[in-house]
Structure 1
Amino acid sequence: MNQTTAVPVRSLDTQPKRPPAKWKKHLWGYLFLIPAIGIFFTFLWLPIGKGIVYSFYHIDFVKGDTYVGWDNYARVLKDPNVLVSVKNTLYYMGLGLVIGFWVPILFAIAISEMRRFQGFARIAAYLPYVVPVVVLYGLWRWLYDPVGPINAVLTKIGFDSVLFLTDKAWSMISIVIMETWQSFGSALLIYIAAISSIPRDWYEAAEIDGAGIWKRIRYITLPAIKNQIVLLFLLQLIATSQNFQTHYAVLDGGPNNATLTYALLVIRYAFTRQDYGSASALGVLMFLVLSVLAILQYRMSSGKEEA
């Protein structure tokens, strides 16, 4: 007896379903992005665009705006305070790298090498970051006072008292020390997370081979967190180039413009002189410089990811 097996035959009329288009597949994702994109455009790119336009105008809220072309740029470039502010900003950025940049790295490595009380050390190092800035400024003004605790200790061990806030040689250094104490906790958490992701087998193998703590740090820890170091290096350059809050609140650019940064000069043009066109011109120049740093940061980070 012959046994036949029925083979289903697909109808010629049925066509395979086409996969949905990409925009249909991610439609709900795009819809959820619309509010964020609208806020981003309204509060970031729209002000940037208006700032570029205003840099070519003399802004007058009563008589109306007047087109002046490149006059605002010519005016600010002739201002001697612009050169002073650029020098002070570069000096401030350099001090931030020399004094403050390595602090979170050293603390993160030290905490990661601790066998006990790691949680307490992390919390203690991060606490200054959550201190309100008003309290911070009052605290450090008291510490830097000519008869404050720091000068009391200096005079007790035989040194002369230091005028931290009124001496041009010390004013910028004092601000950098204060900001380092307050803000290194945020970078510290990033470095600790990076160190925690390093396989423990590497350290165990190094210890078996007889490597001490310094060799483990040099040949394992630092190369493993190199990407984070480069990223935070560029981010710190951008952040310090824009900073003005501390310089304005503590010394208002003094003494004798020793702490007058570029961003603080923009604030003076806008809200003290009420010359919004020149302030916009200064902002555009800063925007161009920071754009170059941002592009550099993006290329370096993308190159590291590809590698």
Structure 2
Amino acid sequence: MVELTPSQPYGSLSGPPPIARRFWQIHHRQRIRLWGFSFVLPTLLFFAVFKYGPMMWAIELSFNSYDMVSAPHFVGLDNYRALAADPIFRETLLNTFVYIAGSTILTTVIGLLLALAINTGVPGARHCMTAMFLTNLMPIIAVCLVWRFLLHPYGLVNQILQPLGFGRIDWLTSSSTAMPAIIMVTVWRFAPYFMVIFLAALLALPEDYYEAAELDGAGAMRRFVHITLPLLMPTVCFVVVVSALLCARIFLMPYLITGGGPGNATRVLSMLIYETGFSYLKMGQAAAISVVLFTIMMIFTALQIRLFSRSEQVYM
């Protein structure tokens, strides 16, 4: 064992490093971890206070009766039983499924078609992409008010369709056309956003597969079906899940354009949550509706991820 003597310099020791140096190295690593944790701490606090905390409180509130005046009291599953027996809730739930399915399918298909059209390299395609993407920069209130004016029985949409042989269409006052009109406005707003995502995925595809397919004599349709579409499956899964989540929590668009009418034709669960909680002061039932909507979207997301993961293939 090497001993430290007054005549022996510190640097000439050949033994293990002193305990003080080892302690300083460990302490330095801990300081780095603490600095990293301090950088992410504001984000963690934000999610805990404004996202996951209210979610847990909503789940707890769904088992209580609360009118924002008196103290909440536990009622068990009574709120869920009341929802199951409510015909308005069942109709609104069906409207929500129709809206999510129609908007998600059309947004995904039209976004992919727009990306394919721009990816062809036609002159001016990039300028068209920029113009179409501006729909996502417009405030949602302005979009709703403009489309409410355009879809008026004497609005611009009917004026354009009249020379084509169409009569006057009551887009927003007929139960058969109100939901398709809301879906059309939703697709108009969100399809250009997902077009950019599809375009980025298309530009990242390797050219080797297409060159080999052209040498084998494969046409454009066969290249799309057997090369482009399988390689785009992860992107398609992402677009479907994100689009469905966006449509599930949509509120301002049906609220400002149709107000949920005519009747309950365009009333979705997000509107029912607002009306039940803040119009009728039934916060327990409103929380139960939000839990039902959250559960539906979690199941839908899990099924979509499982479905697309099975169909996804690995290309070497």
Task: State the 1:298 CA deviation.
Answer: 5.9
- Which of 168, 179, 202 does residue 161 from structure 1 map onto? 168
**Where does the alignment leave 5 or more consecutive residues of structure 2 unmatched?**
1-12
Matched, 1:123 2:127: no
Task: State the 1:23 CA deviation.
Answer: 6.0
- Give the direction of change, closer, same or farther, for the CA distance of 1:204–1:305 in structure 2 (3 Å limit): closer
> How far apart, in 1, do the equivalents of 2:157 and 2:225 lie?
35
Task: State the 1:272 CA deviation.
Answer: 1.1
Task: Determine helix, strand or coil for the equivalent of 1:254.
Answer: coil
Bigger shift: 75-84 or 207-216?
207-216
Bigger shift: 235-244 or 162-171?
235-244
**1:47-85 per-position Cα deviation (integer Å, ceiling 9, x unaligned):** 011111211222244332222222222222221111101
- Which of 180, 184, 194 does residue 187 from structure 1 map onto? 194
> How far apart, in 1, do the equivalents of 2:39 and 2:272 lie?
40
Residues 107 and 191, structure 2, Cα contact 8 Å, conserved in 1: yes
* Match of residue 111 from structure 2: 104
* Match of residue 91 from structure 2: 84
**1:165-194 per-position Cα deviation (integer Å, ceiling 9, x unaligned):** 111111000011111111112111111110
Residues 237 and 305, structure 2, Cα contact 8 Å, conserved in 1: no
- Which of 240, 243, 255 does residue 236 from structure 1 map onto? 243
TM-score, scaled to structure 2? 0.84
* Match of residue 296 from structure 2: 289
* Match of residue 94 from structure 1: 101
Task: State the 1:212 CA deviation.
Answer: 3.8
Matched, 1:260 2:267: yes
Task: State the 1:235 CA deviation.
Answer: 2.2
Map 1:1-307 → 2, pairs under 5 A: 11-14=14-17, 20=26, 26-296=33-303
* Match of residue 7 from structure 1: none
Identity %: 28
**Where does the alignment leave 5 or more consecutive residues of structure 1 unmatched?**
1-9
> How far apart, in 2, do the equivalents of 1:201 and 1:13 lie?
57
Task: State the 1:264 CA deviation.
Answer: 1.3
TM-score, scaled to structure 1? 0.86
Task: Determine helix, strand or coil for the equivalent of 2:118.
Answer: helix
Residues 61 and 283, structure 2, Cα contact 8 Å, conserved in 1: yes
Residues 100 and 176, structure 1, Cα contact 8 Å, conserved in 2: no
Residues 144 and 257, structure 2, Cα contact 8 Å, conserved in 1: yes
Residues 129 and 184, structure 1, Cα contact 8 Å, conserved in 2: no
* Match of residue 3 from structure 2: none
Task: Determine helix, strand or coil for the equivalent of 2:71.
Answer: coil
Residues 231 and 297, structure 1, Cα contact 8 Å, conserved in 2: no
Q: Which amino acid aligns with 2:80?
A: Y
* Match of residue 3 from structure 1: none
Residues 227 and 304, structure 1, Cα contact 8 Å, conserved in 2: no
Task: State the 1:146 CA deviation.
Answer: 1.1
Task: State the 1:306 CA deviation.
Answer: 11
> How far apart, in 1, do the equivalents of 2:254 and 2:273 lie?
13
Bigger shift: 83-92 or 70-79?
70-79
Task: Determine helix, strand or coil for the equivalent of 2:83.
Answer: helix
Task: State the 1:293 CA deviation.
Answer: 3.2
Residues 111 and 122, structure 1, Cα contact 8 Å, conserved in 2: yes
Bigger shift: 63-72 or 211-220?
211-220
The number of residue pairs the alignment matches comes to 299
**1:94-128 per-position Cα deviation (integer Å, ceiling 9, x unaligned):** 22134332000000011001243242122022111
